[in-house]
Structure 1
Amino acid sequence: GAAQVLHRLIVTTFFALSVAVSGSAQVMAGYALQWDITGSTLTVAISAATTGWVGFGLASSGGMYGADMMVARVDDSTGTGSISDYWSRGEVTPSLDEQQDWTLLAAAQA
């Protein structure tokens, strides 16, 4: 298989809350999050040992149903990052979100 690389992404989005919270978590081996919520802006830093792409999502259900998701990648040849916003109806392939409201602030791979 392909060798895994470390992706480092910083993404942001807006949501209908107004709080001030920050934290971090090692979600699983090779996937770590740091987050900051200021007002209605969520900024997430993701470090993931993976190939190809990194995904992240949020849902009030705690699962995939109704989740607002993003998938980001870094182009191997140019080093340029890209991001797409999706939403999910459950344990099915997510649909492209009409409102692309996740923003990629930084992307790198090593």
Structure 2
Amino acid sequence: MDVKTNSEVFINGATQAWQTLEDGLKRQFLGYDDQLMMVKVTFKKGGIGQLHKHYHSQTTYVVGGKFEVTIGDKKQVLEAGDAFYAPPNVIHGAVCLEDGMLIDVFSPAREDFLTP
């Protein structure tokens, strides 16, 4: 992937490239600049968004599936229509209980996602 400072203005989800990640995850960038980033992430059942933390604010919408989400010392099962907020520098992660999709929004943008 070429490192860019911002995405195109219009993003066609049907033709936008996907990145294959570990644990049955794939991600697709849906728009970003240096201050904001939206990413679609698909999970297969059993896929794990490893526990991690970063300095970015993150809010995530559950499009479909079922996920056990950990934020700090709290755990909750979330389904389609639910969402969560992970404050900066707080450990968080998710385990996919049923095939699903999340929409992550970060501020500022996750520059580490754009580095080849």
How would you bin the TM-score normalised by the shorter chain?
0.3 to 0.5
Higher strand fraction (1 or 2)? 1
TM score, norm. by length of structure 2: 0.37
TM score, norm. by length of structure 1: 0.39
Highest relative contact order (Cα 8 Å, sep 6+), 1 or 2?
2
